[in-house]
Amino acid sequence: GAGVSQSPSNKVTEKGKDVELRCDPISGHTALYWYRQSLGQGLEFLIYFQGNSAPDKSGLPSDRFSAERTGGSVSTLTIQRTQQEDSAVYLCASSLGAGGNYGYTFGSGTRLTVV
């Protein structure tokens, strides 16, 4: 597609339920990143995928969070047993190569509310 597409745009879920957030990067972009923006906070790194290399999961806040990228394209961020502190905007970005060399294109985000 023309840009980075994220779905859903908004998600309200009950505490304890699992949620899946989807990111469809720009075709041909080998790098894909997930970031989180909690209310009143800055953006924080969660995970990135670069080509066929093992993902860098160093930003995932707990083992309830996981992500996969299938076929080097679409990525899914899964949050198990959601907690109220997981409420945030989850942003995905992609890059032609390493983002520091090529720049980043961001999606519009998924606003997750855990009630």
Residues near another protein (CB under 8 A): 31, 33, 35, 37, 42-45, 48, 50, 56, 59, 89, 91, 93, 98-101, 103-109, 111
Tokens read off for 9: 């745009």
Q: Which is nearer to another protein, 79 or 90 (CB)?
A: 90
Q: Which is nearer to another protein, 16 or 44 (CB)?
A: 44
Please return the burial class of 10, using the count of CB atoms within 10 Å of its CB with bins 0-12, 13-18 and 19+. exposed
Q: How far is the CB of 21 from another protein (least distance, A)?
A: 13
Region of residue 51 (phi > 0: left; psi between -120 and 50: alpha; otherwise: beta): left
